[in-house]
Copies of this chain bind each other. A is one copy, B any other.
């Protein structure tokens, strides 16, 4: 993979230039894109910007508005659609000096029908979804940075399946203006990169929050809650193994790991994700459903057919449970510094018909708390599998610092 920090260091040392770094990314895209199918559209040339990320080629999920490239939502309904303005996240990327290397494939409207993208580790496996192109482009080493979005688990899950690092920051830390909504209470932007170190560096520059380029945390004495999310079902062996490997590494490094189930309000909030998303999605996609239902892919079509049944009263109850869950999370994250859990149910599905399952990600998206994933193990089929670390709302710096500590331990353990 391309390391963002290495690229910037080589530019700083005069070993390459921003244009030279972009040319490397462009060449890798040209070589690998026929096999990976990560991009929905790309500019003809990559021009370097000015700023801390000058020379960084970044993929932008194709539900995010761009003024100079189409924004097609993974759907023929938006074939060739050209928004008027760049979304704020794209403006922030450019203001930091990064260059948009292309729009990355998304599942249609960021739901469950697969994107055309291949998992770089196994052409028969799913790259995950919905930010499939973003995860695969970074994993294949085409680009050092990509933007995705998560409503259930659409950043952390494909990152885990493709073996890259990712950060889903606190809700609204990055503005979702100009991002096609699916469920506005849940939709959150996130970053994927080769390492948590790279992701933290990029997030700091994009958000204008230098403290997010945090050094790796010391795990000595850190209180880590092992949270198995029983309400979400059991994991597959690959993810159980990954969490166990994390536990061993963290314990050896001096962390205090405690089983930590969390209050009942968290399980209730987990179950609120469904009606909350259903009700909002039927509204967010009302025009597409009314005018282009037959052009929607089968899973999304069936989902919206069913989701229409959620009533305002059920939605209001889901919002109340969300609020109670967020209140409970404040107490929860006072008891432990960090929560560790599965990043996905297992390694990437062995069929490209499924993008996998977001059940270990949904609660944290709904709570709006920062989540990071780094690869820690290989599953039975040899595919990378991540662990997920989570902190309290607004503690993004700590989530990044702990993820960096873990990836250092994994690298050292070999």
Contact = CB atoms under 8 A, between A and B. Distances in A.
A244 interface: no
A208 B92 CA distance: 38
Contacts of A177: 181, 184, 283-284
Interface of A: 67, 77-78, 81, 84-88, 91-92, 95, 172, 175-177, 181, 184-185, 207-209, 280, 283-284, 286-288, 290, 312, 316, 394
5 tightest Cβ-Cβ pairs between the two chains A and B: A91-B286, A85-B287, A88-B283, A86-B287, A177-B181
Given A67-B287, A86-B287, A92-B283, 10 more contacts: A85-B287, A85-B288, A88-B283, A88-B287, A91-B286, A92-B286, A95-B290, A172-B184, A176-B184, A208-B312
A212 to B, nearest CB: 10
22 contacts: A67-B287, A78-B84, A81-B84, A85-B287, A85-B288, A86-B286, A87-B287, A88-B283, A88-B287, A91-B283, A91-B287, A91-B290, A92-B286, A95-B290, A172-B184, A175-B184, A175-B280, A175-B283, A177-B184, A177-B284, A208-B312, A209-B312
A120 to B, nearest CB: 32
Contacts of A95: 286, 290
Contacts of A290: 91, 95
Contacts of A172: 184-185
Contacts of A181: 177
Given A207-B312, A280-B175, A312-B207, A286 B88 contact: yes
Contacts of A78: 84
Contacts of A208: 312
A174 to B, nearest CB: 9
A91 B312 CA distance: 17
A192 to B, nearest CB: 21
A176 B283 CA distance: 10
Nearest to A282: B88
A75 B177 CA distance: 19
A316 B185 CA distance: 19
